[in-house]
């Protein structure tokens, strides 16, 4: 899998990998990179079937998306990294931290969960997108991504990002999420972990967050007021500060 990616920040600095949510490209992090690129080498990438990364021809799982990250790191000659994943990206981060602990320094799990609801809802969404395109679900997706306070022009820009995702790539990832259930494995994560959630996020219910915070040893929680599912976009300064504080503990260690 040839993964489209971008590196920002000083050569030789510790690497921070940023992993996207379903239906977004690496531009998801544009408001956040300035918070970190002075101290970190920032690696952003497009998921399978998103942005400029091609659609995989066969069904795949979140495990395979994690292996895509490992292959990209190996290709770039990068060993150990910190990892910040949002939503689906957070699922990938959980898998990596549990299965490849030697590759993960510190972990940020943003607006994510160990299981994204019942499989049927994801299979139904995949079928709808294949039949009717992403326009058919765009309004409901954007309603979960942002609160009503988000500026109309910003919502419109993210709508275009969503609609620019290949329908088959989106549907295939929906099917991967239908198979995702990491609830019995979060306790295997040993990387120092920050769990970030938007206070108005309709995707991650309190029990989902409790499972991560209580299940991962010594995990910390940051709740961002005035943010829904894409909390890093809606509250970029607060998100950047919370992540910076967590990563600074790595430098102080």
Determine contact, residues 30/95, Cβ cutoff 8 Å.
Answer: no
- Determine the structural domain holding residue 227 and report its residue range: 5-252
CA distance 196 to 111: 6
Phi then psi for residue 240, to 5 deg, are -60, -40
CATH classification at residue 98: 3.40.50.1820
Provide the whole-model pTM: 0.96
- For residue 42, list its beta bridge partners: 8, 16
CA distance 154 to 230: 12
For residue 177, the model assigns a pLDDT of: 97
Determine contact, residues 69/96, Cβ cutoff 8 Å.
Answer: yes
**In the 8-state DSSP scheme, what is residue 32?**
T
Q: What is the DSSP track for the chain?
A: ----EEEES-TTSPEEEEEPPTT--GGGGTTTHHHHTTTSEEEEEPPTTSTTSPPPSS---HHHHHHHHHHHHHHHT---EEEEEETHHHHHHHHHHHH-GGGEEEEEEES--S--S-HHHHHHHHHHHHHH-GGGTHHHHHHHHS-TTS-HHHHHHHHHHHHTS-HHHHHHHHHHHHT---TTTGGG--S-EEEEEETT-SSS-HHHHHHHHHHSTT-EEEEETT--S-HHHHSHHHHHHHHHHHHHHHHH-
Work out the burial of residue 54: count CB atoms within 10 Å of its CB; fewer than 13 is exposed, 13-18 middle, 19 or more buried: middle
For residue 79, the model assigns a pLDDT of: 96
Tokens of 89: 């990206």
**In the 8-state DSSP scheme, what is residue 150?**
S
Give the pLDDT of the chain (253 residues) as one tens digit per residue. 899 999 999 999 999 999 999 999 999 999 999 999 889 999 999 999 999 999 988 799 999 999 999 999 999 999 999 999 999 999 999 999 999 999 999 999 999 999 999 999 999 999 999 999 999 999 999 999 999 999 999 999 999 999 999 999 999 999 999 999 999 999 999 999 999 999 999 999 899 999 999 999 999 999 999 999 999 999 999 999 999 999 986 554 4
Domain count across the chain: 1
Secondary structure of residue 152 in the 3-state scheme? helix
Instruction: Say how many C-beta atoms besides its own lie within 10 A of residue 238's C-beta.
Output: 19
For residue 252, the model assigns a pLDDT of: 47
């Amino acid at each position: 899998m040839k993964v489209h990616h971008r590196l920002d920040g000083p050569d030789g600095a510790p690497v921070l990998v940023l992993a996207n949510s379903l239906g977004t490209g690496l531009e998801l992090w544009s408001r956040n990179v300035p918070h970190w690129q002075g101290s970190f080498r920032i690696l952003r990438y497009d998921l399978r079937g998103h942005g400029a990364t091609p659609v995989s021809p066969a069904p795949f799982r979140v495990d395979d998306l994690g292996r895509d990250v490992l292959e990209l790191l190996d290709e770039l000659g990068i060993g150990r990294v910190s990892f910040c994943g949002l939503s689906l990206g957070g699922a990938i981060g959980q898998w990596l931290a549990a299965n490849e602990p030697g590759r993960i320094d510190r972990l940020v799990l943003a607006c994510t969960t160990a299981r994204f609801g019942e499989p049927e809802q994801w299979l139904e969404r995949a079928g709808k997108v294949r039949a009717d395109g992403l326009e058919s679900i765009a309004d409901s997706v954007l309603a979960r991504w942002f609160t009503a306070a988000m500026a109309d022009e910003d919502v419109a820009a993210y709508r275009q990002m969503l609609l620019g995702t290949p329908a088959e790539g989106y549907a295939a990832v929906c099917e991967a999420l239908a198979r995702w259930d990491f609830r019995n494995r979060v306790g295997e994560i040993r990387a120092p972990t920050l769990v970030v959630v938007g206070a108005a996020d309709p995707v991650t219910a309190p029990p989902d967050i409790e499972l991560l915070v209580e299940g991962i040893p010594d995990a910390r929680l940051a709740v961002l007021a005035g943010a829904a599912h894409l909390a890093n976009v809606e509250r970029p300064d607060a998100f950047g500060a919370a992540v910076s504080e967590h990563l600074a503990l790595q430098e102080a260690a």
